Structure 1
Amino acid sequence: MSSSAWARWSAGGLLCLLCGSSWAGLMAESTRVVFEAGGAEQSLQLVNLNPYPVVVQAWVDDGHLESGPDAAGAAGAAVMPIPPIFRLNPKGQISLRLLATGVPLPVDRESLFWLNLYEIPPARTDLPADAQTLTVTLRTQMKVLMRPAKLPVSVEDLPEQLRFTLEQRTDGPRVRIDNASPYYATFRALELACAGAPAQPLAAEMVAPLTAETLALDSSPSCAVEQAEVRFLLVGDDGNPVAGKAALASSVSGS
Protein backbone atom coordinates (compact mmCIF):
# COMPACT_ATOMS: atom_id res chain seq x y z
CA MET A 1 0.00 0.00 0.00
CA SER A 2 1.71 3.25 1.03
CA SER A 3 4.94 3.79 2.89
CA SER A 4 3.08 3.64 6.19
CA ALA A 5 -0.30 2.85 7.65
CA TRP A 6 -0.43 6.54 8.50
CA ALA A 7 -0.07 7.73 4.94
CA ARG A 8 -3.38 8.24 3.19
CA TRP A 9 -4.12 6.84 -0.21
CA SER A 10 -6.91 6.80 -2.76
CA ALA A 11 -7.57 4.74 -5.89
CA GLY A 12 -8.20 6.56 -9.13
CA GLY A 13 -9.62 3.55 -11.00
CA LEU A 14 -10.46 -0.15 -10.96
CA LEU A 15 -9.03 -3.03 -12.94
CA CYS A 16 -11.21 -5.21 -15.11
CA LEU A 17 -11.52 -8.94 -14.43
CA LEU A 18 -8.72 -9.67 -16.92
CA CYS A 19 -6.26 -7.63 -14.89
CA GLY A 20 -4.57 -8.48 -11.61
CA SER A 21 -4.93 -6.50 -8.41
CA SER A 22 -2.51 -3.63 -7.80
CA TRP A 23 -1.18 -1.96 -4.65
CA ALA A 24 1.01 1.09 -4.22
CA GLY A 25 4.63 0.04 -4.44
CA LEU A 26 6.17 3.49 -4.18
CA MET A 27 7.80 3.53 -0.74
CA ALA A 28 9.23 6.52 1.15
CA GLU A 29 11.99 6.51 3.76
CA SER A 30 9.78 8.30 6.31
CA THR A 31 6.12 8.98 7.00
CA ARG A 32 6.45 12.76 7.27
CA VAL A 33 8.73 15.67 6.46
CA VAL A 34 9.48 18.40 9.00
CA PHE A 35 10.88 21.78 7.97
CA GLU A 36 12.57 23.29 11.00
CA ALA A 37 12.76 27.08 11.34
CA GLY A 38 14.61 28.66 8.44
CA GLY A 39 14.96 25.39 6.53
CA ALA A 40 14.99 25.98 2.79
CA GLU A 41 15.16 22.41 1.52
CA GLN A 42 14.52 18.81 2.56
CA SER A 43 14.96 15.58 0.65
CA LEU A 44 12.87 12.41 0.65
CA GLN A 45 14.16 9.10 -0.67
CA LEU A 46 11.64 7.12 -2.72
CA VAL A 47 11.96 3.60 -4.13
CA ASN A 48 9.72 1.75 -6.57
CA LEU A 49 9.06 -1.76 -5.18
CA ASN A 50 6.70 -2.63 -8.03
CA PRO A 51 7.90 -5.19 -10.60
CA TYR A 52 7.10 -2.62 -13.30
CA PRO A 53 8.07 1.00 -13.97
CA VAL A 54 5.81 3.82 -12.81
CA VAL A 55 5.38 7.48 -13.63
CA VAL A 56 4.95 9.62 -10.53
CA GLN A 57 3.49 13.12 -10.26
CA ALA A 58 4.36 14.96 -7.03
CA TRP A 59 2.80 18.10 -5.58
CA VAL A 60 2.07 19.68 -2.19
CA ASP A 61 -1.38 21.01 -1.24
CA ASP A 62 -3.83 21.44 1.65
CA GLY A 63 -4.71 17.76 1.78
CA HIS A 64 -8.15 17.66 0.17
CA LEU A 65 -8.43 14.45 -1.83
CA GLU A 66 -10.36 16.16 -4.62
CA SER A 67 -7.56 18.67 -5.22
CA GLY A 68 -4.81 18.26 -7.79
CA PRO A 69 -1.50 19.85 -8.78
CA ASP A 70 -3.30 22.73 -10.49
CA ALA A 71 -5.70 23.48 -7.63
CA ALA A 72 -5.59 26.65 -5.55
CA GLY A 73 -4.40 24.68 -2.52
CA ALA A 74 -1.33 23.54 -4.43
CA ALA A 75 -0.62 26.98 -5.83
CA GLY A 76 -0.44 28.47 -2.33
CA ALA A 77 1.56 25.64 -0.77
CA ALA A 78 4.68 26.41 1.22
CA VAL A 79 6.68 23.60 -0.41
CA MET A 80 7.50 22.70 -4.01
CA PRO A 81 8.68 19.18 -4.97
CA ILE A 82 11.45 18.82 -7.56
CA PRO A 83 11.08 17.06 -9.97
CA PRO A 84 7.27 17.33 -10.14
CA ILE A 85 7.02 14.42 -12.61
CA PHE A 86 9.44 11.51 -12.91
CA ARG A 87 9.73 7.88 -13.98
CA LEU A 88 11.03 5.12 -11.73
CA ASN A 89 12.08 1.70 -12.97
CA PRO A 90 11.52 -1.40 -10.82
CA LYS A 91 13.74 -1.11 -7.70
CA GLY A 92 14.70 2.37 -8.89
CA GLN A 93 15.33 5.14 -6.36
CA ILE A 94 15.11 8.91 -6.41
CA SER A 95 15.84 11.70 -3.95
CA LEU A 96 12.84 14.00 -4.18
CA ARG A 97 13.80 17.57 -3.34
CA LEU A 98 11.30 19.63 -1.34
CA LEU A 99 11.91 23.37 -1.55
CA ALA A 100 10.34 25.96 0.77
CA THR A 101 8.57 28.61 -1.32
CA GLY A 102 8.70 31.34 1.33
CA VAL A 103 4.95 31.97 1.53
CA PRO A 104 3.97 33.74 4.79
CA LEU A 105 2.97 31.32 7.55
CA PRO A 106 1.90 31.68 11.21
CA VAL A 107 4.83 32.21 13.57
CA ASP A 108 3.13 30.92 16.73
CA ARG A 109 2.35 27.37 15.57
CA GLU A 110 3.15 24.71 13.00
CA SER A 111 1.54 24.75 9.57
CA LEU A 112 0.50 21.52 7.87
CA PHE A 113 0.64 20.67 4.18
CA TRP A 114 0.43 17.36 2.33
CA LEU A 115 2.85 15.83 -0.14
CA ASN A 116 0.96 13.93 -2.84
CA LEU A 117 2.58 11.11 -4.79
CA TYR A 118 0.39 10.11 -7.74
CA GLU A 119 1.54 6.75 -9.07
CA ILE A 120 0.63 5.70 -12.64
CA PRO A 121 1.50 2.18 -13.82
CA PRO A 122 2.26 1.34 -17.47
CA ALA A 123 -0.51 0.25 -19.82
CA ARG A 124 -0.91 -3.50 -20.25
CA THR A 125 0.34 -4.71 -23.64
CA ASP A 126 -0.35 -8.44 -23.18
CA LEU A 127 -4.15 -8.28 -23.38
CA PRO A 128 -6.43 -8.94 -26.38
CA ALA A 129 -7.00 -5.92 -28.59
CA ASP A 130 -10.68 -5.76 -27.65
CA ALA A 131 -10.09 -6.07 -23.88
CA GLN A 132 -11.73 -3.35 -21.84
CA THR A 133 -9.48 -2.05 -19.07
CA LEU A 134 -9.23 0.82 -16.63
CA THR A 135 -5.79 1.94 -15.46
CA VAL A 136 -5.30 1.96 -11.70
CA THR A 137 -3.68 5.10 -10.32
CA LEU A 138 -2.72 5.33 -6.65
CA ARG A 139 -2.25 8.50 -4.65
CA THR A 140 -0.32 8.57 -1.39
CA GLN A 141 -0.41 11.57 0.95
CA MET A 142 2.25 12.40 3.53
CA LYS A 143 2.36 15.19 6.10
CA VAL A 144 4.72 18.14 5.55
CA LEU A 145 5.08 20.22 8.73
CA MET A 146 6.46 23.76 8.67
CA ARG A 147 7.83 24.55 12.14
CA PRO A 148 8.60 28.20 13.00
CA ALA A 149 11.38 29.38 15.27
CA LYS A 150 11.17 30.34 18.95
CA LEU A 151 8.09 28.34 19.85
CA PRO A 152 7.41 28.51 23.61
CA VAL A 153 7.70 24.75 24.25
CA SER A 154 9.72 21.94 22.72
CA VAL A 155 8.07 19.29 20.56
CA GLU A 156 9.26 16.74 23.15
CA ASP A 157 6.84 18.41 25.60
CA LEU A 158 3.81 17.78 23.37
CA PRO A 159 2.41 14.83 25.42
CA GLU A 160 2.28 17.02 28.54
CA GLN A 161 0.46 19.76 26.62
CA LEU A 162 -2.61 17.61 25.93
CA ARG A 163 -5.64 17.87 28.21
CA PHE A 164 -8.57 15.42 28.26
CA THR A 165 -11.98 16.30 29.68
CA LEU A 166 -15.10 14.17 30.07
CA GLU A 167 -18.21 16.08 28.99
CA GLN A 168 -21.60 14.68 30.00
CA ARG A 169 -23.83 16.01 27.22
CA THR A 170 -27.50 15.41 26.63
CA ASP A 171 -26.60 13.52 23.44
CA GLY A 172 -24.14 11.27 25.26
CA PRO A 173 -20.71 11.37 26.89
CA ARG A 174 -17.76 12.82 25.02
CA VAL A 175 -14.07 13.35 25.58
CA ARG A 176 -12.66 16.74 24.69
CA ILE A 177 -8.98 16.90 23.69
CA ASP A 178 -7.33 20.28 24.13
CA ASN A 179 -3.97 20.73 22.43
CA ALA A 180 -2.34 23.71 24.15
CA SER A 181 0.89 23.25 22.22
CA PRO A 182 2.01 24.85 18.94
CA TYR A 183 2.47 21.38 17.39
CA TYR A 184 0.18 18.99 15.53
CA ALA A 185 -0.71 15.99 17.69
CA THR A 186 -1.10 12.88 15.51
CA PHE A 187 -2.42 9.84 17.36
CA ARG A 188 -1.41 6.27 16.58
CA ALA A 189 -3.54 4.94 19.45
CA LEU A 190 -5.80 6.45 22.11
CA GLU A 191 -7.82 4.82 24.89
CA LEU A 192 -9.73 5.63 28.04
CA ALA A 193 -8.77 3.31 30.92
CA CYS A 194 -10.37 2.46 34.24
CA ALA A 195 -8.74 0.17 36.79
CA GLY A 196 -10.13 -3.35 36.57
CA ALA A 197 -12.08 -2.77 33.36
CA PRO A 198 -11.23 -3.12 29.64
CA ALA A 199 -9.92 0.11 28.12
CA GLN A 200 -12.27 1.93 25.76
CA PRO A 201 -10.59 2.83 22.43
CA LEU A 202 -11.09 6.36 21.14
CA ALA A 203 -11.08 7.24 17.46
CA ALA A 204 -8.78 10.23 17.07
CA GLU A 205 -6.45 10.98 14.20
CA MET A 206 -5.01 14.46 14.69
CA VAL A 207 -5.56 17.61 16.75
CA ALA A 208 -4.22 20.87 15.33
CA PRO A 209 -2.13 23.24 17.48
CA LEU A 210 -3.98 25.50 19.92
CA THR A 211 -7.32 23.86 19.12
CA ALA A 212 -9.63 21.19 20.55
CA GLU A 213 -11.44 18.12 19.23
CA THR A 214 -14.38 16.29 20.80
CA LEU A 215 -14.86 12.52 20.52
CA ALA A 216 -18.04 10.57 21.22
CA LEU A 217 -17.88 7.73 23.76
CA ASP A 218 -19.78 4.46 23.47
CA SER A 219 -20.54 4.70 27.19
CA SER A 220 -19.51 6.63 30.28
CA PRO A 221 -16.38 5.43 32.12
CA SER A 222 -17.01 2.49 34.42
CA CYS A 223 -15.17 4.23 37.26
CA ALA A 224 -15.18 7.67 38.83
CA VAL A 225 -13.63 10.33 36.65
CA GLU A 226 -10.79 10.89 39.11
CA GLN A 227 -9.88 7.20 38.76
CA ALA A 228 -9.79 7.23 34.97
CA GLU A 229 -6.87 8.06 32.74
CA VAL A 230 -6.23 8.50 29.03
CA ARG A 231 -3.35 6.59 27.45
CA PHE A 232 -2.05 7.41 24.00
CA LEU A 233 0.65 6.95 21.42
CA LEU A 234 1.63 9.95 19.33
CA VAL A 235 3.58 9.81 16.08
CA GLY A 236 6.96 11.51 16.51
CA ASP A 237 9.00 13.43 13.95
CA ASP A 238 10.79 10.22 13.00
CA GLY A 239 7.54 8.27 12.63
CA ASN A 240 8.11 6.27 15.81
CA PRO A 241 5.50 6.14 18.60
CA VAL A 242 5.72 8.48 21.60
CA ALA A 243 3.82 7.19 24.64
CA GLY A 244 1.92 9.41 27.04
CA LYS A 245 -0.91 9.39 29.56
CA ALA A 246 -3.02 11.99 31.30
CA ALA A 247 -5.68 12.24 33.97
CA LEU A 248 -9.27 12.71 32.86
CA ALA A 249 -10.95 15.91 34.01
CA SER A 250 -14.72 16.41 34.21
CA SER A 251 -17.18 19.04 33.09
CA VAL A 252 -20.85 19.31 32.22
CA SER A 253 -21.95 20.63 28.85
CA GLY A 254 -25.15 20.93 26.88
CA SER A 255 -25.81 19.23 23.57
Structure 2
Amino acid sequence: MMRRSIPVFLSAISLFVTTEAFASISLSATRVIFDGSRKEANITVRNGGQNVLVQSWIDSDLAENTSLPFAITPPLARVAANQQQLLRILYEGGGMPIDKESVVWLNVQEIPQASASDANILQLAVRQRVKIFFRPADLPGEAAKAPAQLKWKLQNEGGQTLLKVNNPGHYHVSLADLEVGKSDKAELIIGATMIAPGEDRTFKLKAAPLSLSPSLRFASINDYGALQKFETTVNFQSMSSATPAEVQDQQ
Protein backbone atom coordinates (compact mmCIF):
# COMPACT_ATOMS: atom_id res chain seq x y z
CA MET A 1 0.00 0.00 0.00
CA MET A 2 2.82 2.41 0.87
CA ARG A 3 4.61 1.75 -2.43
CA ARG A 4 1.48 2.59 -4.42
CA SER A 5 0.84 5.84 -2.55
CA ILE A 6 4.32 7.29 -3.18
CA PRO A 7 3.94 7.69 -6.99
CA VAL A 8 0.50 9.25 -6.48
CA PHE A 9 1.97 11.74 -4.02
CA LEU A 10 4.85 12.59 -6.35
CA SER A 11 2.42 13.06 -9.24
CA ALA A 12 0.36 15.47 -7.16
CA ILE A 13 3.51 17.49 -6.40
CA SER A 14 4.45 17.64 -10.09
CA LEU A 15 0.97 18.89 -11.00
CA PHE A 16 1.20 21.57 -8.33
CA VAL A 17 4.59 22.74 -9.59
CA THR A 18 3.34 22.74 -13.18
CA THR A 19 0.31 24.79 -12.19
CA GLU A 20 2.44 27.35 -10.35
CA ALA A 21 4.59 27.83 -13.44
CA PHE A 22 1.61 29.26 -15.33
CA ALA A 23 0.98 32.09 -12.82
CA SER A 24 2.81 34.59 -14.97
CA ILE A 25 0.85 37.85 -14.72
CA SER A 26 1.20 40.58 -12.11
CA LEU A 27 -0.56 43.88 -11.47
CA SER A 28 1.08 47.28 -11.22
CA ALA A 29 -0.64 48.04 -7.89
CA THR A 30 -2.12 46.21 -4.91
CA ARG A 31 -5.20 48.46 -4.92
CA VAL A 32 -6.89 50.97 -7.20
CA ILE A 33 -7.81 54.43 -5.91
CA PHE A 34 -10.65 55.78 -8.06
CA ASP A 35 -10.97 59.56 -7.86
CA GLY A 36 -14.69 60.31 -8.20
CA SER A 37 -13.95 63.63 -9.88
CA ARG A 38 -12.63 61.65 -12.83
CA LYS A 39 -14.43 59.15 -15.05
CA GLU A 40 -11.78 56.45 -15.15
CA ALA A 41 -8.85 54.83 -13.37
CA ASN A 42 -6.12 52.61 -14.78
CA ILE A 43 -4.06 49.60 -13.77
CA THR A 44 -1.47 47.67 -15.78
CA VAL A 45 -1.25 43.91 -16.21
CA ARG A 46 2.29 42.66 -16.78
CA ASN A 47 2.97 39.24 -18.27
CA GLY A 48 6.31 37.75 -17.28
CA GLY A 49 5.64 34.29 -18.74
CA GLN A 50 4.09 32.69 -21.79
CA ASN A 51 1.32 34.11 -24.00
CA VAL A 52 -1.95 34.30 -22.07
CA LEU A 53 -5.51 35.52 -22.28
CA VAL A 54 -6.46 37.98 -19.55
CA GLN A 55 -10.11 38.25 -18.53
CA SER A 56 -11.14 41.13 -16.24
CA TRP A 57 -14.35 42.10 -14.47
CA ILE A 58 -15.62 44.05 -11.46
CA ASP A 59 -17.84 42.73 -8.68
CA SER A 60 -18.69 43.40 -5.04
CA ASP A 61 -19.22 41.43 -1.85
CA LEU A 62 -22.96 41.89 -2.26
CA ALA A 63 -25.26 39.57 -4.22
CA GLU A 64 -23.77 38.30 -7.47
CA ASN A 65 -26.53 39.86 -9.57
CA THR A 66 -25.93 43.35 -8.12
CA SER A 67 -25.43 45.81 -10.96
CA LEU A 68 -22.42 48.08 -10.56
CA PRO A 69 -21.96 51.38 -12.44
CA PHE A 70 -18.51 50.38 -13.65
CA ALA A 71 -17.11 48.86 -16.82
CA ILE A 72 -13.63 47.65 -17.65
CA THR A 73 -11.93 47.68 -21.01
CA PRO A 74 -10.72 45.51 -22.50
CA PRO A 75 -12.66 42.78 -20.66
CA LEU A 76 -10.68 40.14 -22.56
CA ALA A 77 -7.22 40.64 -24.01
CA ARG A 78 -4.36 38.55 -25.31
CA VAL A 79 -1.10 39.55 -23.64
CA ALA A 80 2.08 38.28 -25.27
CA ALA A 81 5.04 37.04 -23.27
CA ASN A 82 6.98 39.84 -21.54
CA GLN A 83 4.39 42.43 -22.61
CA GLN A 84 1.79 44.42 -20.69
CA GLN A 85 -1.82 45.52 -21.04
CA LEU A 86 -3.45 48.67 -19.69
CA LEU A 87 -6.88 48.10 -18.12
CA ARG A 88 -9.22 51.11 -18.00
CA ILE A 89 -11.88 51.15 -15.28
CA LEU A 90 -14.78 53.37 -16.34
CA TYR A 91 -17.45 54.92 -14.10
CA GLU A 92 -20.94 55.78 -15.39
CA GLY A 93 -21.01 58.98 -13.33
CA GLY A 94 -23.71 57.92 -10.84
CA GLY A 95 -24.94 55.02 -8.74
CA MET A 96 -22.35 55.09 -5.94
CA PRO A 97 -22.68 56.77 -2.52
CA ILE A 98 -21.45 60.36 -2.58
CA ASP A 99 -20.98 60.84 1.18
CA LYS A 100 -18.42 58.09 1.84
CA GLU A 101 -15.79 55.93 0.21
CA SER A 102 -16.99 52.63 -1.32
CA VAL A 103 -15.15 49.43 -2.16
CA VAL A 104 -15.65 47.11 -5.13
CA TRP A 105 -13.33 44.42 -6.46
CA LEU A 106 -11.28 44.12 -9.63
CA ASN A 107 -10.79 40.54 -10.80
CA VAL A 108 -8.03 39.73 -13.29
CA GLN A 109 -7.92 36.14 -14.46
CA GLU A 110 -5.06 34.61 -16.39
CA ILE A 111 -6.04 31.90 -18.89
CA PRO A 112 -2.94 30.14 -20.26
CA GLN A 113 -3.00 28.97 -23.83
CA ALA A 114 -3.30 25.24 -24.41
CA SER A 115 -0.03 23.33 -24.55
CA ALA A 116 0.55 21.57 -27.85
CA SER A 117 3.55 19.61 -26.58
CA ASP A 118 1.98 17.67 -23.71
CA ALA A 119 -1.74 16.98 -23.47
CA ASN A 120 -1.32 15.66 -19.90
CA ILE A 121 -0.24 19.00 -18.40
CA LEU A 122 -2.76 20.43 -15.94
CA GLN A 123 -3.52 24.10 -16.62
CA LEU A 124 -5.54 26.32 -14.33
CA ALA A 125 -6.97 29.80 -14.74
CA VAL A 126 -5.30 31.87 -12.01
CA ARG A 127 -7.29 34.84 -10.67
CA GLN A 128 -6.03 37.92 -8.86
CA ARG A 129 -8.46 40.12 -6.92
CA VAL A 130 -7.72 43.65 -5.67
CA LYS A 131 -9.84 46.37 -4.09
CA ILE A 132 -11.06 49.43 -5.94
CA PHE A 133 -11.59 52.31 -3.49
CA PHE A 134 -14.09 54.70 -5.04
CA ARG A 135 -13.80 58.19 -3.53
CA PRO A 136 -16.57 60.66 -4.41
CA ALA A 137 -15.54 64.13 -5.46
CA ASP A 138 -15.18 66.65 -2.62
CA LEU A 139 -15.26 63.97 0.08
CA PRO A 140 -14.31 65.63 3.41
CA GLY A 141 -11.11 64.69 5.20
CA GLU A 142 -8.09 62.74 4.05
CA ALA A 143 -7.66 58.99 3.68
CA ALA A 144 -4.15 59.18 5.14
CA LYS A 145 -5.54 60.57 8.41
CA ALA A 146 -8.36 58.03 8.76
CA PRO A 147 -6.40 55.45 10.86
CA ALA A 148 -5.65 58.07 13.52
CA GLN A 149 -9.36 58.95 13.69
CA LEU A 150 -10.44 55.47 14.76
CA LYS A 151 -11.91 55.40 18.27
CA TRP A 152 -10.91 52.51 20.57
CA LYS A 153 -12.31 51.36 23.91
CA LEU A 154 -12.39 48.32 26.18
CA GLN A 155 -15.71 46.99 27.43
CA ASN A 156 -16.80 44.17 29.70
CA GLU A 157 -19.92 42.23 28.75
CA GLY A 158 -20.92 39.16 30.72
CA GLY A 159 -17.42 38.62 32.01
CA GLN A 160 -15.93 38.84 28.50
CA THR A 161 -13.45 41.62 27.72
CA LEU A 162 -14.15 43.26 24.38
CA LEU A 163 -12.16 45.67 22.25
CA LYS A 164 -14.45 48.06 20.42
CA VAL A 165 -13.56 50.33 17.51
CA ASN A 166 -15.57 52.98 15.70
CA ASN A 167 -14.68 54.57 12.38
CA PRO A 168 -16.26 58.06 12.44
CA GLY A 169 -14.72 59.12 9.13
CA HIS A 170 -15.57 58.83 5.45
CA TYR A 171 -12.77 56.43 4.45
CA HIS A 172 -12.07 52.72 4.84
CA VAL A 173 -9.18 51.77 7.11
CA SER A 174 -7.27 48.59 6.25
CA LEU A 175 -5.75 47.15 9.43
CA ALA A 176 -2.98 44.61 9.86
CA ASP A 177 -1.59 42.93 12.99
CA LEU A 178 -3.93 44.43 15.58
CA GLU A 179 -2.66 43.51 19.04
CA VAL A 180 -3.23 44.47 22.67
CA GLY A 181 -0.82 44.29 25.60
CA LYS A 182 2.91 44.51 26.24
CA SER A 183 5.10 43.70 23.25
CA ASP A 184 6.48 40.48 24.79
CA LYS A 185 3.02 39.27 25.90
CA ALA A 186 0.73 40.93 23.38
CA GLU A 187 -2.42 39.20 22.17
CA LEU A 188 -2.86 39.27 18.40
CA ILE A 189 -6.50 40.17 17.91
CA ILE A 190 -6.64 39.82 14.13
CA GLY A 191 -4.10 39.56 11.33
CA ALA A 192 -5.92 41.74 8.81
CA THR A 193 -9.32 43.39 8.44
CA MET A 194 -10.98 46.51 7.08
CA ILE A 195 -13.13 48.98 8.99
CA ALA A 196 -15.72 50.70 6.79
CA PRO A 197 -16.84 54.33 7.16
CA GLY A 198 -19.23 54.70 10.09
CA GLU A 199 -18.73 51.08 11.15
CA ASP A 200 -18.62 49.82 14.74
CA ARG A 201 -16.66 46.60 15.23
CA THR A 202 -16.13 44.43 18.32
CA PHE A 203 -13.27 42.00 18.94
CA LYS A 204 -13.20 39.45 21.76
CA LEU A 205 -10.06 39.26 23.86
CA LYS A 206 -8.98 35.81 24.98
CA ALA A 207 -8.06 37.08 28.42
CA ALA A 208 -8.55 40.24 30.45
CA PRO A 209 -5.62 42.67 30.03
CA LEU A 210 -3.03 42.62 32.81
CA SER A 211 -3.21 46.40 32.87
CA LEU A 212 -6.31 48.58 33.15
CA SER A 213 -4.86 50.68 30.31
CA PRO A 214 -3.04 48.23 28.03
CA SER A 215 -1.19 49.34 24.94
CA LEU A 216 -2.79 48.84 21.53
CA ARG A 217 -0.81 48.58 18.29
CA PHE A 218 -1.78 48.06 14.70
CA ALA A 219 -0.56 48.75 11.19
CA SER A 220 -2.61 50.45 8.49
CA ILE A 221 -2.14 49.95 4.75
CA ASN A 222 -2.11 53.25 2.88
CA ASP A 223 -2.97 54.11 -0.74
CA TYR A 224 0.48 53.02 -1.91
CA GLY A 225 0.45 49.63 -0.21
CA ALA A 226 2.83 50.71 2.55
CA LEU A 227 2.31 49.77 6.19
CA GLN A 228 2.26 52.52 8.80
CA LYS A 229 2.28 51.64 12.48
CA PHE A 230 -0.03 53.23 15.03
CA GLU A 231 -0.19 52.93 18.79
CA THR A 232 -2.20 54.11 21.78
CA THR A 233 -3.50 52.88 25.13
CA VAL A 234 -7.07 51.72 25.69
CA ASN A 235 -9.25 51.64 28.80
CA PHE A 236 -12.81 50.98 29.99
CA GLN A 237 -13.72 54.62 30.65
CA SER A 238 -13.20 56.59 27.44
CA MET A 239 -12.51 56.31 23.72
CA SER A 240 -8.92 56.79 22.54
CA SER A 241 -7.24 57.44 19.20
CA ALA A 242 -3.89 56.13 17.99
CA THR A 243 -0.91 58.14 16.82
CA PRO A 244 1.39 57.17 13.92
CA ALA A 245 4.78 55.57 14.50
CA GLU A 246 6.73 54.69 11.36
CA VAL A 247 6.29 53.69 7.71
CA GLN A 248 7.31 50.17 6.65
CA ASP A 249 7.73 48.24 3.42
CA GLN A 250 4.98 47.88 0.82
CA GLN A 251 2.43 45.07 1.07
Asked whether the two chains share a fold, i.e. TM above 0.5, the reply is yes
Do the aligned residues in 2 keep the contact of 1:27 with 1:46 (CA within 8 Å)?
Answer: yes
Provide the residue aligned with 1:166 in structure 2: 154
The SS at the match of 1:160 is helix
Query: Aligned partners of 1:127 and 1:35: how far apart in 2?
Result: 43
Do the aligned residues in 1 keep the contact of 2:170 with 2:197 (CA within 8 Å)?
Answer: yes
Provide the residue aligned with 2:51 in structure 1: 53
Provide the residue aligned with 1:27 in structure 2: 26
The SS at the match of 2:181 is strand
The SS at the match of 1:126 is coil
Q: 1:121 to 1:171 in 2, by over 3 A?
A: farther
The SS at the match of 2:58 is strand
Query: Aligned partners of 1:190 and 1:43: how far apart in 2?
Result: 32
Query: Aligned partners of 1:136 and 1:155: how far apart in 2?
Result: 37
Provide the residue aligned with 1:200 in structure 2: 187
Q: Which has the higher helix share?
A: 2
What are the superposed Cα offsets for residues 109-159 of structure 1, whole Å, 9 maximum, x if unpaired? 10110000111112232235xx4x653111111111111133332222212
Query: Aligned partners of 2:207 and 2:19: how far apart in 1?
Result: 40
Q: 1:122 to 1:17 in 2, by over 3 A?
A: farther
The SS at the match of 1:72 is coil
**Counterpart pick for 2:174 among 158, 162, 186:** 186
Provide the residue aligned with 1:88 in structure 2: 79
Q: Which runs of 4+ in 1 moved over 4 A?
A: 15-18
Provide the residue aligned with 1:72 in structure 2: 65
| TM-score normalized by the length of structure 2 | 0.79
Query: Aligned partners of 1:160 and 1:81: how far apart in 2?
Result: 34
The amino acid of 1:145's aligned partner reads F
* 1:171 Cα offset (Å): 7.0
| Structure 2 residues not aligned, in runs of 5+ | 1-10, 238-251
Query: Aligned partners of 1:88 and 1:217: how far apart in 2?
Result: 48
Is 1:40 the equivalent of 2:27?
A: no
How many equivalent pairs are there?
223
* 1:18 Cα offset (Å): 6.2
Do the aligned residues in 2 keep the contact of 1:31 with 1:239 (CA within 8 Å)?
Answer: yes
Do the aligned residues in 2 keep the contact of 1:77 with 1:103 (CA within 8 Å)?
Answer: no
- Percentage of matched positions with identical amino acids: 26
Larger CA deviation: 105-114 vs 213-222: 213-222
Do the aligned residues in 1 keep the contact of 2:215 with 2:233 (CA within 8 Å)?
Answer: yes
Provide the residue aligned with 2:241 in structure 1: none
Query: Aligned partners of 2:174 and 2:13: how far apart in 1?
Result: 38
Is 1:237 the equivalent of 2:223?
A: yes
| TM-score normalized by the length of structure 1 | 0.78
**Counterpart pick for 1:144 among 128, 132, 147:** 132
What are the superposed Cα offsets for residues 64-85 of structure 1, whole Å, 9 maximum, x if unpaired? 6xx8xxx523xx2232111000
Query: Aligned partners of 2:184 and 2:13: how far apart in 1?
Result: 48
The SS at the match of 2:94 is coil
Of structures 1 and 2, the larger Rg is shown by 2
Q: 1:159 to 1:57 in 2, by over 3 A?
A: same
What are the superposed Cα offsets for residues 158-194 of structure 1, whole Å, 9 maximum, x if unpaired? 1221112223233733212211111011113221133
Provide the residue aligned with 1:11 in structure 2: none
